[in-house]
Structure 1
Amino acid sequence: MAAAKLLKNTRDKKMVAFKSNMFVFMAIVASMTFCISAMEHAVGDDSGWVTPENPNFYIDWAANKTFTVGDTLLFDFYTGLHDVTPVIKEDYDRCSVTVPGTTIKTGPATLNLYIPGDHYFICSMDGDCLDNQKLAIHVVDNDSSN
C-alpha cells in the first residue's frame, strides 16, 4: 500500500513538473515569435535622418514599409545637427512644436513603436522640417491591419 501511494505521489510530481515545463516552453516560444516578428527600421536607410534633397524622400521611404507594434525606428543622425521630435499631426503639417513632448537630441536614437495608429516625427532644428525632414507613419497592431 505504501509503495502504491509513493508511486502515485511520484507520478503526480512528474505531471506537475511536466505541466510547469510545458508552460515555460510555450512562454518562450510565444516571446520568440514576438521577437522574430519585430523589425528595426533604419529611417532613411543608408542616408539616415538628414535634411533630404528630394522633398518626398521620407514619404517615399515609408510608403513601401509596414510598421507593426513592437517594431523600432532607428533615427541615425549627428548629435548637434539634428534631433527627433514626436509631434501631433497639426504640428507635423505646420512644422512646429506646440504640444510639448520629448525631443531626442542625441543620435543615433531608437524609438519603440508600441501604440497602433498614425505617428509623426520632425527635426525641430534650423528649419529642417520645412526642408522636409519629417516622417509620418502608420503603425498596425500585431493582430490586425488597422
Structure 2
Amino acid sequence: MAYFNLIMLVFLSAVVSAMALHASNSLHMVGDDFGWRVPASPGFYNEWASKRSFTVGDALLFNFTTGWHDVTEVSKEGYDQCKLGDSDKTIKDGPATIHLTNAGDHYYMCSYKGHCLKDQKLAIHLAPTVNTTLRSL
C-alpha cells in the first residue's frame, strides 16, 4: 500500500508540474520596442504577430502615449474597413493591457483619424489553452 501511495504521489507531482509549465501565460508587448503607433511600413503589426503564438490566458500590452493613440477591439469588417462598430470599446489610456480570454480571431485598431488607414491595426489568432488537455487526466 505504501508503494502505491508513493507511485501516486510521484504521478500527481508530475501532472501538477506539467500543468504549471503549460499554464504560464505570456505578456506580448505589441510591436516590441516600437510600441503601438503608426508604423513606417504596411503590415508591420501583422508581421510582428506572425512570429508569435497567442493562447487563451495571454495578454497584449499596447504601449502608447495617452492622447496620441488608443486601442479598440473591432470586428473583422471594422478591421478591414478601419471603422468602429457600435459595441466597440476604446481604451484611451496608455499603456493598455488586454487579457485574451476567448479563442478565435481578434482584431484591434487605433481609432485616431487616419491611423488605421496608415496600418496601425493588428489581427491575431488566439488558440485555446494548452493545458485544457491536461485537465482531463
TM-score with structure 2 setting the length: 0.79
RMSD: 2.5
For 2:40 and 2:81, the matched residues in 1 are separated by 20
> Once the 2 structures are TM-superposed, how far is the Cα of residue 64 of structure 1 from its aligned partner?
1.0
Structure 1: any 5+ residue segments left out of the alignment?
1-24
2:109 is matched with which residue? 122
For 2:102 and 2:85, the matched residues in 1 are separated by 21
Deviates more, 1:97-106 or 1:108-117: 97-106
Check 1:110–1:31 CA distance in 2 against 1; reply closer, same or farther (3 A cut). Answer: farther
Q: Is the 8 A contact 1:87 1:99 kept in 2?
A: no
Higher relative contact order structure (alpha carbons within 8 Å, sequence separation ≥ 6): 2
Q: Which amino acid aligns with 2:70?
A: D
1:80 is matched with which residue? 67
Q: Indicate which of 60, 67, 88 corresponds to 2:54.
A: 67
For 1:141 and 1:114, the matched residues in 2 are separated by 9
Aligned length: 124
1:1-146 → structure 2 map (5 Å cutoff) = 32-33=20-21, 35-36=23-24, 38-143=25-130
Q: Is the 8 A contact 2:22 2:130 kept in 1?
A: no
Q: Which amino acid aligns with 2:109?
A: I
3-state SS of paired residue (1:58): helix
Structure 2: any 5+ residue segments left out of the alignment?
1-12, 132-137
For 1:99 and 1:133, the matched residues in 2 are separated by 20
Identity across the alignment (%): 49
For 1:78 and 1:88, the matched residues in 2 are separated by 24
Q: Where in structure 1 do 4 or more consecutive aligned residues deviate above 3 Å?
A: 28-35
